[in-house]
Amino acid sequence: MAAKKRATSTPKQIADGHATPESRVIELRALIRHHNDRYYADDTPEVSDAEYDALVKELAQLEAEYPHLATADSPTSVVGGGSFTTFAPVVHAVPMTSLDNAMDTDELHAWGERIAKGLDGGSCTYVCELKIDGLAISIRYENGVLVQAATRGDGKVGEDVTANVATIAILPKKLTSNAKTPVPEVLEVRGEVYMSIEAFQRLRAEKEAENVRRAADGRGPLSVPVNPRNAGAGSLRQKDSRITAERDLSLWCYQLGEVRGGPEFTHHHDTLDYLKKLGFPVNPEIRAIASLTEVYSFCDEWKEHRHELPYDIDGVVVKVDDLRQRETLGFTSRAPRWAIAFKFPPEERNTALKDIQVSIGRTGRATPFAVLEPVFVGGSTVSLATLHNRDQVALKDVRPGDTVVVRKAGDVIPEVVGPVLSLRPKKSKPWVFPETCPCSLKSTLVKPDDQADTRCVEPSCPFQRDQRIIHFASRGGMDIEGLGERTVFALSDAGYVADVGDLYFVTVDQLLQLEGFADISAKNLVESILLSRTRPLPKLLTALGIKHLGPAASESLAAEFGTLDAIASASNDQLALVEGVGDVIAQSISSWFAKDENKAIINKLRTAGVDFGRVERSSEPQTLAGKAVVVTGTLASYSRDGAEGAIKARGGKSPGSVSAKTFAVVVGSEPGASKVTKAEQLGIPMLDETAFEHLLATGNLP
C-alpha cells in the first residue's frame, strides 16, 4: 500500500525533496498501466475514476515541468488501456482517440482560450453532449449491413465484439437508403454502450440472490458489479453473446468514423441529424450552443439534474461544431484539440473501511454502518456510510480493513457499494453481526426469519428513547428549533427527559446546567418547545413515530377524525377505511395507543397544553380534488414547496414522479429531463406557469 499513499504526492512535494522527478514518473506510469489493466481488461478497477484521473493529471504536470522525461509510450500519450487477447483484434481505419479532461470551469475556460488562439481569434460554436458513463464502441456497416463492432482498445487496435453488440436491441442491423438519406458504401458509427440504471439494479439483484443460494450451499460468493459502467463493460466482453443479450445493454451514437461514398457535412450537428434519420439512437439532450457562457450553463444544469436520467453520466463533452475548424485545430498524440470532457465532481471514491458498527433507531432497528477513512466524494467529506442491514453486509462481504467503493449521489446518504477484492488483506475475516445491543442494557438483538431487519426489542433501550425524541423534534415532526441531537443526548444523559412528553417540562435552570447553554439560548429553546404545542394535528401524529405512519396518512387521519383522541379511540376497521391507511397501518396505530407507556406520554402532552385537534383546513376551492399534478423545474412565482402547497390546498396531490395517473405536469425552467420524457411518452399535458394558474383557478386544462 506504500505506492497508494505516495500516489497523492504532487510535483511541488517532489521539488521539496520527497522523491526525484524520475522516480515519481516511473512510479506513476507503472500505477496507471496497472489500473488500465484492471479497468479495461478485467473490468475490476481498484481505484475510482477520480483517483485515476488525479494520477494521470499529476504525470502530465511532471512531464510538462520536466520535458526530458516525456516519452512516446507514456500513458499521457496513448489512448485507453491497450488492446487485449480475449477477442480478435480489429485495426481502426480512423483512430479512436481519447479526450482531455476539464475538472472545473477554469480549465474549461482555458480550453476555450486555446481554441480561440488556434483559430487566430476567430469565433466558433459548440455542441454539448452528455458524457455517458459507458464503453466506447465502433460499429461498421458495409452497404447498409452491420459487419463489425470493436472496442476502442489503444485507439489503433480494439477487440472484435460484433456478436455481443448485435444483441443490443436498439441498434439497427440493416440500414435502409432513400433519396433524402443515402446509405454510404462504408459507414463507421461511434458511440457509447451503457447499461441503464434499471438494468443494472436488476442484474445486481440477480447476482445477490445467487450469492444467497451459494452461501447456503457453502460456496464462495460471485463478484457483484458495483456500478452500471463496470456491469456494462463486463457484459459487452462476455465470450457467450447469449449472456450479453440477457443484460439489456443500450447505446447512444455520437460520432462518425470512416465514411466512404456518403454525403458531405460541414458541421457536427448535421452528422448527428443524419445518424438519427438512419435510425441510430442519438441522445436527445445534445445541444448546439453559441458561446462558452452557454456551455458553462449547460454543464451546471446537468451537474444538478444528472440523477433525473435513467442512465449514468459523469460529465459533458464539449466539441467545436464546425468540421473545417476542427481540421485547423487538429490533434495531440492522444486527443483532439477541438473537444474536451468537462468532468463532474466524483460520486464514487475508494477509501479504507476502518470499522463496522451498529446504530439503533427509534423503532429498535439495528443498522450497520461503516466507519471510513475520511474521503471527499459527492461534494462533501464522508467518514460514515450506511450498510443498510445485516443481510446486505453479508451479501457485499465488506470487512474492516477492506478498501471499499463509497458512493454519495447528490443528497443521498453515503453508502458502501462493495469491496475491492484484489486489495483485501490476506488474513481478512468476515464481519459478524453483534448479538447484543450496543446500549448499556446489552439486550439481545432479534432477527425474525421473515424480515430483513435486526432489532433491539427492549422498550427501555436508551438509544431508542433518544432517537424517538430526536424524531419528535425534527422538522417533519414538531419542528422544535434548536433541539438537535447533541441537546437531546445531553438532556437524556442528565435525566431531565425520558420521553417526548418530558420535553414540555424542561426548564431554563435545567438547560443552564448543560454544557453550551447560556441564559439567552436556554430561554430561546424553552420558548421553541412551548411554541410547538400549536403544531397542526398531522405534524403531531407524524412526530409520535408510530410504525408505518407517515405524513400523507397522518393528513388523511386528521382530516377524517379531527382530533388525536378520536383517532386513539377509533377501531381498526374505522382507521383502515381512511385513504392511505389500510389494515397494516391501522393495526400499528391501535397497538401504539393501547400501550401503557404511550398512554402516559399522551397524558403528559395533554397536561402540557399540546393542541390535539388543530386541523388546518384550506379556504381555497377544491378545484383539483382527486387530481395528481407533478411540478418540475423552477417557476417564477412559486417555490417548489409553494407550488406543491397550492396544489394540495385545492384538494390535489403533487407526487414526485410522473405516471399514467398524472393529470398534468407543470414545467418551469430547467425541468427534470426524465419527467418531461415520461410525460411525452404517456401523452400527459404539460403546462407553463400561466396555464398552471388557470388550472389552480378552474381545475381544467386551458
**CB atoms near residue 335 (< 10 Å):** 19
Active-site residue flag, 447? no
Looking up cell 476539464 gives 102
Cβ(188)–Cβ(228) below 8 Å: no
Active-site entry in 4, 57, 131, 408: 131
**CB atoms near residue 481 (< 10 Å):** 14
Instruction: Give the angle 299-305-311 at the CA atoms, nearest 5°.
Output: 100
For residue 436, give the DSSP letter.
Answer: B
Cβ(192)–Cβ(251) below 8 Å: yes
Return d(Cα 691, Cα 702) in angstroms, integer.
6
Q: Alpha carbon 278 to chain centroid distance?
A: 33
Longest CA–CA separation in the chain, Å:
89
Cα-based distances in Å from 628 to 557, 581, 623, 674: 20, 19, 12, 17
Task: Please write down the HEC assignment for all residues of 26-54.
Answer: HHHHHHHHHHHHHHHHCCCCCCCHHHHHH
Strands (E) located in 659-698: 662-667, 686-687
Cα-based distances in Å from 635 to 17, 286, 687: 56, 24, 11
Cβ(563)–Cβ(537) below 8 Å: yes
Residues in contact with 533: Cβ distance below 8 Å, sequence separation at least 6, in sequence order: 504, 608, 609, 610, 611
* Alpha carbon distance, N-terminus to C-terminus of the chain: 65
In DSSP notation, 266-285 reads SBHHHHHHHHHHTT----TT
Residue 136 has phi, psi (to 5 degrees) of: -65, 140
Looking up cell 426469519 gives 449
Cα-based distances in Å from 232 to 152, 225, 281: 15, 9, 17
Of all helices (H) and strands (E), which one includes residue 523? helix 519-531
Active-site residues, by number, are: 131
